[in-house]
């Protein structure tokens, strides 16, 4: 797993159940996605990448076990900053 920045924190749980959305996946705490600000995270339930497509495609590259190994859109706790 890549090294996380010192100020990284795990994504906050998403308040709404996501079971009926196509492309939902079970995300473990040690998955790279658990640290991404694009994740609609539901610990212990199905989670969803906010950039996923309706067909269930996520922008990441995963290993044979389904763990995200890299993602061109990965944003580790980086939220857009307002213009000054």
Residue 47: its H or E element: strand 46-49
Cβ(46)–Cβ(58) below 8 Å = no
Domain segments of the chain as ranges: 1-68
pLDDT digit string, tens, across residues 3-34 = 667 777 777 788 888 877 778 888 887 777 78
**pLDDT per position as a tens digit, 28-76:** 877 777 878 888 888 888 888 888 887 778 888 878 887 777 787 776 6
pTM higher than 0.85 for the full model? no
- 78: which residues sit within 8 A by CB, 6+ positions away? 37
């Amino acid at each position: 797993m890549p090294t996380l920045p010192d100020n990284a924190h795990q994504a906050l749980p998403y308040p709404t159940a996501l079971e009926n959305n196509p492309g939902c996946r079970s995300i473990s705490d040690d998955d790279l996605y658990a640290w991404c600000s694009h994740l609609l995270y539901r610990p212990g339930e199905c989670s969803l990448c906010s950039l996923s497509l309706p067909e269930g495609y996520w922008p990441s590259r995963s290993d044979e076990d389904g763990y995200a190994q890299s993602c061109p859109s990965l944003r580790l706790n980086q939220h857009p900053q307002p213009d000054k």
